[in-house]
Amino acid sequence: MRLSSRLTCPDRSGLPRLVLAFFGFALLSSTVVRAADSQPEAHRIVSVGGTVTEILYDLGAGDRIVAVDSTSFYPPEAAKKPNVGYMRRLSAEGILAQTPDLILTEAGSGPPDALAVLAQSGIRLINIAEPPAAETVGARIRAIGAAIGKTSEADALAGKADDDLAKLKADLAHLPPERKRVMFVLSIANGRIMAAGKETAADAMIRLAGATNALADSTGYKPLSDEAVIAAAPDVILTMDQGAAPVKAEDVFALPALAASPAAKQKAFVSMDSLYLLGFGPRTADAARELASRLYPEAAIR
Amino acid sequence: MIIADHLVLTRQGRPILDKVSLRLVPGRFTVVIGPNGAGKSTLLKLISGDIKPDSGHILYGDEDISRLKPRQLAERRAVLPQSTSLSFPFTALEVVRMGAIAAGSLKPCEDARTALARVGLAALEARAYQALSGGEQQRVQFARVLAQLPTPVNEAGPRALFLDEPTSSLDLTHQISVLEIAREFAAAGGMVMAVLHDLNLAAEFADSLLILKGGRAIAEGPPQTIIRDDIITSVYGLSGTVGRIPQTTPFVLPQSRHPAPASAI
Amino acid sequence: MSIAIDIAQQPARGDRSQQGALALALLSALLVAACLISLTSGPTGVGLRDLVSYLAGSLLSGHQTLSKQDLIVLEAVRLPRTLLGLLVGAGLGLSGAMMQGLFRNPLADPGIVGVTSGASLAAVAAIVLGPTLLLPLQTALGAQFLPLMAFAGALINTGLLYRIATRGGQTSTVALVLSGISIGALTMAATGLLIFLADDRALRDITFWSLGSLGGATYGKALSIAPFILAALALLPFLARGLDALVLGDAAAFHMGIPVERLKRISVLVVAGACGASVAVAGSIAFVGIIVPHLLRLAIGPSHRFLLPGAALGGASLLLLADSIARTVAAPAELPIGIITALIGAPVFLLLLLGRGGRGLID
C-alpha cells in the first residue's frame, strides 16, 4: 500500500508528518469504527458484549443502557437489566421491543440476519469491530466513546488504560528471565483436563502477566491426555471463578496427572473472575497486574 | 391368453424351475399342484410379474410382460397372496377399497362393499383388519382382489386371477366358497391360476391341472386324466390312494395308501 | 389382538373418510389460529389490532397507519418467521408421515434415512472449518454458507444410504435402516472429531444450532423449503395411494399397480429435500416428525390421503405454536425451539402410551 511506503520514508518537514499522522489515525480508527457512526444523544442503548457494557459504565453512560446481552455481567448493575439473549444469537424482535436508539455490538455478535433486520428498522447499529485483545483496549474505548458522544472521557480512559499497560510492561521487565509455567484449566469434568493452548484469551493473559503457557503445543481449548499434562509440568494452575461449578484447588490437585506437578507441590492455584481475567476490557492491566503479583509473590509487583 | 414359455429360474446354483411352460386360457381354471419345494409359488410369482425368469418369456396377449408397467399389469391381473399382515390399523373396508382404487373405480367404497358382501364379510367392514381371524383376513384379501378385477373381461381382454394357496387358513366352507367364486370368474371368461396343496380340491375345481416336482413339470391335463395312481405315486411316494366317485371325478384318499414299490417313485 | 381404537363401537362404517375430512378441516382452522398467534406474539407488543390495521392498510386502503418500527416487526420479523415456521413444520410433519409409511413402522422418523445426521455433520463442518479450511467457500457464499452446506450434507448422506440399500433396482427397507445405523455411526464420529477441533465460538454456535431456532427467518429461507413442500403436495395422490398399498407389502403394492421402487425413490427424495432444507435453515427440531403423524393416525386411522395433508397441517401448527412460546416465555431472549417441541411432544406421547392402559400406541 502506498501509505505504508510513505511511512517508511524519512520526513522532510513537520507538516507532512502531521498529515501522515492524521491519515494514519484515520486509517486505524476506520478499522474500528466508521467515522460517521456516532449517536451522541443516544439514551436508549442496547449493549451487546461484556466489555462493551463495562466500558459504557466506565464512561459514565451506564444509566443510558436499556438492555444488555447475556455475557454482560459486570458491573453487577448491568446484569439486572433486561437480557436480549446470547450475543451470537440475538433476538431481533427482543431488541426492537426495547425501542433503542443505538445498538452497540462487540465483534462476533450475530446472527447476521437479526442484525440486518435491526439495521433495516432505522436504529443506529455500531459494531466495535476489533476483537477483544490487550492491544486494542484503547482503540475500543475510543470507538465506544465516539459512538456515544463521550470522546474526552474516552480519551482519558483509553489513555489511562494504555498507560497502565505500558507501566505493567515496564514493571514486568524486572522479572527474572525464568518465567513461571502457567496452565489455565477450563474444566475437569469426568476427570479430563480441558486446558488453554495457544490462540486463546487465557494464553494472551498469561503472557501479558509475564508468564509462559505451560501448554506450548496445543491450540485452543482441548481435553488433554494425562501424559500431555504431566509433560507440561505447570508451576501454577489458573482457573476462572464464575459459574455454578467453579474448578476447585483440591479437585484439581487430586487428579493423578497433576498430583505430581510442581504446582501441586507448591499448592500454587490462582482463581480469578472470568470477565475480569479474560474480557480484555478497561481492567485488563489491573487483571494482568494482579495475576502477575500472585504468580510472582516475591517480585512484589504492585 | 397368458403364455409362459420354458421358464427357467436358478437361485444359488439350484434350479427352482426347469423349463416349465404353462398357458392360461380364458374360461379355464388352471391349478398347479405338487409337493413342497416343487416351485409352484415361484411359477405363480413369475407369471404374475413379481420376479423375472432367468430365461423364457411370458406373454400377456401379444405383449411381453417386461414391457408392461405396474399400472397396466394391475388392470389385467390380480394376485391373492398366501397371507398378509398389516402394521397399521386399517379397517377391512379400507383394505378392500385399495383394490377398488387399483381398478380405477370412481366409487371405491361402494365397490369395496360389494366385494366384501361377495365373500360374506359385509358385517365386518368396520372391524380392524388386525383384529380379524386368519381366515377372515384371507377373505378380506380375496375381496380386495375381487375389487381389483370387478369384471372377468374388460375392453383389453380377459383378465387373470392368481391365487397362491388361498385355502391355507380357511375352514372348509370358505375354502369351497372362495374356489367357487374363482370358478365363476373363469366361467365368465376370465383366467384363473391357483396353486393348491389339497389334491381333492384341485381334482374338483381344475379344468387343467399341472403337476410339478423339483422344478419340473411332471404331468399336465384335465384332472380326470392325470390324477392317477402311478402319477401320484411318482410325485408323492404314496400308492393306492386314488379312487373315483361315480361322476368320474377322481378323489385321493391318503388313508387307503400302502407303501409304494421302489421302482415306481 | 388389541387395537388402538375400538372402531366397532362406532356405527359400522369401515370408511373413515368423514372423520378424515373433519380432521383436515379442524387442522386447517388450527393452522389459521396458529398463524394468527404467531403473527401477534412477541416482545414488542404488536398485537391483533395492529395486524388487522396492517392488513387493512395493505389490502384495502393502500397506506399504513402503523409506526415504522411496528411495520418492521410485522414485515421483517413476524411474517417471514411465520411463513418459515409453517413450511418447516409442514415439511417435518409430512416427512415423518412418509417415513412411517415407507418403513411400515409408526416409530420411523426422517432421521432414519440419514437426513439429520448428514445435515448436522455438514453444519458442524461449516461452523468449525468455515473460518479456516473452508474460508474461500464461506466468503463466496456468505450467509448462505451454513444452510447450503447442511442441505448438501443431508442430500449426500441420504443418497449414499439409498445407494447402499439398493440392489438390482430394488431398495430394501431393512437394508436402509441398517446402513443408516452404520453410516450414522460414521457421521457421528466425524462430527465428534470436528467438535473436538472446535474453538469456543464454534462450540457455542454448534450448541445453539443443534437446538434449533426460527430466529433470523427471511423470505429467502422460507423459499428454499417451499419447492419440496409444493412437490409433495402435488404428488399427494400418488404418494397417498402408494403408501397405503405399501402397508400390504411390496409385492401386494406392486400387484395393485404401484411402481414400488419409484415410490420409494420419490419419497426419499422429498423427505431428504424437505427435511434437509428444514434442518439447514432452522437447525434440528425434534419430535415433530414422529409425534404429529402418530397422533393423527390414532385419531383418524392410517389412510394416507388424510394422514399426509393432516401431518403437514398439524406439523405446521405445532411448530408455530411452539415458536410463539419460544419467543415470549423468556422475552426479550428466545428459547431454542427444539426444547419446546420436545417439552410439548414427550409428555403428550407418554400420556397416550400410559393412558390407554399401555396398549395405546402399539398397533
- The CATH number that applies at residue B209 is 3.40.50.300
Chain C interface includes B73 (CB < 8 A): yes
Q: Report residue A25's pLDDT band, with 50, 70 and 90 as the boundaries.
A: low
Q: Between chains, do A93 and C196 touch, taking CB under 8 Å as contact?
A: no
Shortest Cα distance, chain A CAs vs residue C75, angstroms: 10
Helix, strand or coil for residue A223? strand
Give, in order, the Cα–Cα distances in Å from C258 to each of B103, B157, C113, C247, C253: 12, 21, 22, 12, 5
| C17 vs C19: CA distance, rounded Å | 5
Q: Which amino acid type is present at position A49?
A: G
What pLDDT is recorded for position C216? 76
Give, in order, the Cα–Cα distances in Å from C192 to each of C122, C124, C189: 12, 9, 5
Shortest Cα distance, chain C CAs vs residue A220, angstroms: 6
Element (H, E) at A139: helix A137-148
Give Dmax over CA atoms of chain A in angstroms: 66
Q: Between chains, do A94 and C334 touch, taking CB under 8 Å as contact?
A: yes
Mean pLDDT over C91-113 rounds to 88
Q: Report residue A33's pLDDT band, with 50, 70 and 90 as the boundaries.
A: very low
Residue A41 has pLDDT above 60, yes or no: yes
Percent of residues, chain C, with pLDDT higher than 70: 94
| B156 vs B62: CA distance, rounded Å | 11
Percent of residues, chain C, with pLDDT higher than 90: 36
Q: Which residues of B touch C244 (CB under 8 A)?
A: 90, 94, 98
Query: How many CB pairs below 8 A link A and C?
Result: 95
What pLDDT is recorded for position A239? 92
Q: What is the pTM of this model?
A: 0.80
| C265 vs C163: CA distance, rounded Å | 10
Q: Report residue C3's pLDDT band, with 50, 70 and 90 as the boundaries.
A: very low
Q: Which residues of C touch B99 (CB under 8 A)?
A: 256
Which chain C residue's Cα is nearest to A119?
Answer: C72
| C132 vs C129: CA distance, rounded Å | 5
Which chain C residue's Cα is nearest to B123?
Answer: C12
pLDDT tens-digit profile of C305-345?
999 999 999 999 999 999 999 888 887 778 888 889 988 88
Give the nearest partner residue to B94 out of C11, C12, C303, using CB atoms: C303
C121, C157 in Cβ contact below 8 A?
yes
Shortest Cα distance, chain A CAs vs residue C199, angstroms: 6
Which chain A residue's Cα is nearest to C202?
Answer: A88
Q: Report residue C361's pLDDT band, with 50, 70 and 90 as the boundaries.
A: very low
For residues C306-327, one letter each, b for 16 or more C-beta atoms within 10 angstroms of the residue's C-beta and e for the rest, the string is bbbbbbbbbbbbbbbbbbbbbb
Chain C interface includes B143 (CB < 8 A): no
Q: Do chains A and B touch (3 or more CB pairs under 8 A)?
A: no
Query: How many CB pairs below 8 A link B and C?
Result: 115
pLDDT higher for A2 or C148?
A: C148
Q: How many domains does chain B have?
A: 1
Q: Report residue A225's pLDDT band, with 50, 70 and 90 as the boundaries.
A: confident
pLDDT higher for A257 or A184?
A: A184
Spell out, as residue ranges, where chain B has pLDDT lower than 70: 246-247, 264-265
Candidates B88, B91, B146, partner chain C, best to mutate (most C CBs within 10 A): B88
Shortest Cα distance, chain C CAs vs residue B251, angstroms: 34
C14, B125 in Cβ contact below 8 A?
yes
Give the nearest partner residue to C215 out of A67, A114, A222, using CB atoms: A114
For residues C230-254, one letter each, b for 16 or more C-beta atoms within 10 angstroms of the residue's C-beta and e for the rest, the string is eebeebbeebbbbbbbbbbbbbbbb
Q: What is residue A125's DSSP assignment?
A: E
Give the nearest partner residue to B102 out of C4, C104, C257, using CB atoms: C257
What pLDDT is recorded for position A10? 43
Domain limits for position B128: 2-264
Shortest Cα distance, chain A CAs vs residue C65, angstroms: 16
pLDDT tens-digit profile of C269-304?
889 888 888 888 888 887 888 889 988 998 889 999
Give the nearest partner residue to A94 out of C197, C213, C333, using CB atoms: C333
Chain C interface includes B114 (CB < 8 A): no
Nearest in space to C248 (alpha carbons), one of B146, C296, C257: C257
Q: Which residues of C touch A87 (CB under 8 A)?
A: none
Nearest in space to B121 (alpha carbons), one of B98, B78, B91: B91
Q: Which residues of A touch C337 (CB under 8 A)?
A: none
Candidates C38, C41, C44, partner chain A, best to mutate (most A CBs within 10 A): C44
Mean pLDDT over A63-67 rounds to 94
Phi, psi for residue B120 in degrees, rounded to 5: 80, 25
Which chain C residue's Cα is nearest to A97?
Answer: C44
Which chain A residue's Cα is nearest to C221?
Answer: A113
Q: Do chains A and C touch (3 or more CB pairs under 8 A)?
A: yes
Q: Which residues of A touch C143 (CB under 8 A)?
A: 112-113
Candidates C66, C200, C224, partner chain A, best to mutate (most A CBs within 10 A): C200
pLDDT tens-digit profile of A233-270?
999 999 988 766 778 888 888 888 888 889 988 889 99
| A251 vs A259: CA distance, rounded Å | 10
Strand pairing class (A65-68; A45-48): parallel
Residue A102's beta-bridge partner residues? A45, A124
pLDDT higher for C211 or A4?
A: C211
Residue C10 has pLDDT above 70, yes or no: no
Strand pairing class (A181-187; A193-196): antiparallel
Strands of B208-213's sheet in order across: B77-80, B160-164, B191-195, B29-33, B208-213, B216-221
ipTM surpasses cut 0.95: no
Shortest Cα distance, chain C CAs vs residue A164, angstroms: 29
Q: Which residues of C touch B123 (CB under 8 A)?
A: 12
pLDDT tens-digit profile of B7-42?
999 988 888 999 999 999 999 999 999 998 889 999
Q: What is the rounded (10 degree) CA torsion for C175, C179, C182, C185?
A: -130
Q: Between chains, do A97 and C45 touch, taking CB under 8 Å as contact?
A: yes
C39, C50 in Cβ contact below 8 A?
no
| B1 vs C270: CA distance, rounded Å | 40
Percent of residues, chain A, with pLDDT higher than 90: 33
Mean pLDDT over A111-117 rounds to 85
What pLDDT is recorded for position B65? 94
Domains (range + CATH), chain A: 2-168 (3.40.50.1980), 181-299 (3.40.50.1980)
What pLDDT is recorded for position C8? 44
Q: Between chains, do C43 and A93 touch, taking CB under 8 Å as contact?
A: yes
C268, C243 in Cβ contact below 8 A?
no
Q: Between chains, do B94 and C301 touch, taking CB under 8 Å as contact?
A: yes
Give the nearest partner residue to C247 out of B49, B86, B131, using CB atoms: B86
Residue B243's beta-bridge partner residues? B251
Q: Between chains, do C301 and B97 touch, taking CB under 8 Å as contact?
A: no
Chain C interface includes B149 (CB < 8 A): no
Strands (E), A175-234: 181-187, 193-196, 212-213, 221-224
Which chain C residue's Cα is nearest to B93?
Answer: C14
pLDDT tens-digit profile of C210-221?
878 888 788 888
Residue C260 has pLDDT above 60, yes or no: yes
Q: How many residues does chain B have?
A: 265
pLDDT higher for C58 or B180?
A: B180
Helix, strand or coil for residue A103? strand
Residue A67 has pLDDT above 80, yes or no: yes
Mean pLDDT over A87-98 rounds to 88
Shortest Cα distance, chain A CAs vs residue C32, angstroms: 22
Q: Which residues of C touch B77 (CB under 8 A)?
A: 255
Give, in order, the Cα–Cα distances in Å from A185 to each of A192, A299, B199, C105: 10, 24, 84, 48
